[in-house]
Structure 1
Amino acid sequence: MTDQIQHPGARLNEPAPAFDAPTTHGRKTLADYRGKWLVLFSHPADFTPVCTTEFIAFAKKHDDFAARNTELLGLSIDSHYSHIAWMLNIKEKFGVEIKFPIIADLNMAVAQAYGMIQPGASDTAAVRATFLIDPEGVLRAMVYYPMNAGRSVDEIYRLLVAMQTADEHKCAMPENWTPGKPVIVPTPATPEAAMARASEGYETVDWYFSTRTL
């Protein structure tokens, strides 16, 4: 019985599940991306309209991700040849070249390991899941969308930039942060530090809420 098999999927701030899978660019493993950020994203099926719009959006943003030391890697439970035919179709019909690889996950090994299969949506197709993995192979963010609504590639890129900037400057990011906006200063951890916060030169609303510009 399928309910006897537990697939907890990937978990934040833990090593991302390793994989070794066939793609449109040859076999790829998680280790191949060591030293770079990776955006691993699943889609329900090739030759479907919502997925096509998403792939076009990822393809158009490819160079922006690359400039951020970030690789893109798609996945669906379709064959290698289906992926190739769909890529060629997108180039022919929409004039957009898909430069990133796509995993052919026919045995659902990668999808199961990452929790891309959601039985409430489908037992045989991956939902619209997106995983951001850092250069050390640690899963830093994951975002799920339903089958009938396409994800925002711009938001995924914004999230990537926010996380990279937060790591570099040891800060946190407010709602919808974009470059140029103030960032949040870490909250004081002791009463003494809280008392001193107002005199530290930040834009301080209260001891727990201070911002600064980068």
Structure 2
Amino acid sequence: MATLRLGDTAPDFTQDSSVGPIHFHQWAGDSWVVLFSHPADFTPVCTTELGRTAALSGEFARRGVKPIALSVDPVDKHQQWIGDINETQNTTVDFPILADADRTVSELYDLIHPNASATATVRSVFFIDPNKKVRATLTYPASTGRNFDELLRVIDSLQLTDSHKVATPADWTDGDDVVILPSLQDPAEIAQRFPKGHKAVKPYLRLTPQPNK
């Protein structure tokens, strides 16, 4: 399977999970989805990550995002691991963990990188929009846990830039100034879209307050 590229349709699949069989596109419905892979159950970094995902359930829900995890261990191991996660991270895992024991999803999403490990999945994240398109990806080695503030920041940026003709600059977080797209040149349209005004640092670099705030 070739590497998934931005704009590709996220492959559909049916796979067992900690909450029963998941028919992926049907399960996703009209929501955004964050699908993230884990090298194995009962691993320390993954335990902290799944606990953090559960702790942020309200933040994901507020953004209309469904998180779903993947590990190549079977359901019974997932259930045991969830008990450990809830105990050690003081939370309640309330999202599915795919039991990808036959590597179906790992192959579809190119999660086995043989030069890193012949068996364990890399630590990848796929941001998938309601049209089932892959909008962003992040891939870390097994040794590096994800920054969940960054995951939420990416979602905020994708959702904002889908609804307004802006882009988000370096280190942007929700509420910061944004950049007006260079393709937008009509002064009347700019004034209409950005009534708070804007600052032209350069003709191609125009900053404006975040329009949905």
Is TM > 0.5 for Structure 1 vs Structure 2?
Answer: yes
Tell me, in whole angstroms, the C-alpha distance in 2 between the residues paired with 1:114 and 1:177.
Answer: 29
Q: Say which is worse superposed, 38-47 or 170-179, in terms of deviation.
A: 170-179
Q: Superposed, which structure 2 residues align to 1:37-56 within 5 Å?
A: 37-56=32-51
Aligned residue in 1 for 2:207: 211
- The yes-or-no answer on 1:60 pairing with 2:55 is yes
Q: Which amino acid aligns with 2:7?
A: N
Q: Once superposed, which parts of structure 1, at least 4 consecutive aligned residues long, lie more than 3 Å away?
A: none
Is the contact made by 1:77 and 1:124 (CA closer than 8 Å) also made in structure 2?
no
Aligned length: 203
Q: Superposed, which structure 2 residues align to 1:138-157 within 5 Å?
A: 138-157=133-152
Q: Superposed, which structure 2 residues align to 1:1-214 within 5 Å?
A: 7-31=1-25, 32-188=27-183, 193=185, 201-213=197-209, 214=211
1:79-120, Cα deviation, whole Å (9 max, x unpaired): 111111000122233322111000000111101111111111
1:17-62, Cα deviation, whole Å (9 max, x unpaired): 1111111111112222121000000010110111111111111111
TM-score, normalization by structure 2: 0.90
Instruction: Give RMSD over aligned pairs.
Output: 1.8
Query: SS of the residue aligned with 2:81?
Result: helix
Tell me, in whole angstroms, the C-alpha distance in 2 between the residues paired with 1:157 and 1:143.
Answer: 13
Tell me, in whole angstroms, the C-alpha distance in 1 between the residues paired with 2:123 and 2:52.
Answer: 14
Aligned residue in 1 for 2:194: none
Query: SS of the residue aligned with 1:211?
Result: strand
Query: SS of the residue aligned with 1:26?
Result: coil
Distance 1:95 1:180, change over 3 A: closer
Q: Say which is worse superposed, 176-185 or 101-110, in terms of deviation.
A: 176-185
Is the contact made by 2:48 and 2:89 (CA closer than 8 Å) also made in structure 1?
no
Task: Structure 2 unaligned segments of length 5 or more: list them.
Answer: 192-196
Q: Which amino acid aligns with 2:17?
A: T
TM-score, normalization by structure 1: 0.89
Distance 1:211 1:77, change over 3 A: same
1:161-186, Cα deviation, whole Å (9 max, x unpaired): 11111111121111121121111101
Is the contact made by 2:72 and 2:103 (CA closer than 8 Å) also made in structure 1?
yes
Tell me, in whole angstroms, the C-alpha distance in 2 between the residues paired with 1:185 and 1:84.
Answer: 47
Tell me, in whole angstroms, the C-alpha distance in 1 between the residues paired with 2:116 and 2:103.
Answer: 15
Tell me, in whole angstroms, the C-alpha distance in 1 between the residues paired with 2:61 and 2:38.
Answer: 21
Tell me, in whole angstroms, the C-alpha distance in 1 between the residues paired with 2:52 and 2:89.
Answer: 11
Query: SS of the residue aligned with 1:23?
Result: coil
Identity %: 37
Tell me, in whole angstroms, the C-alpha distance in 2 between the residues paired with 1:186 and 1:44.
Answer: 39
Tell me, in whole angstroms, the C-alpha distance in 2 between the residues paired with 1:29 and 1:177.
Answer: 35
Tell me, in whole angstroms, the C-alpha distance in 2 between the residues paired with 1:80 and 1:20.
Answer: 14
Query: SS of the residue aligned with 2:39?
Result: coil
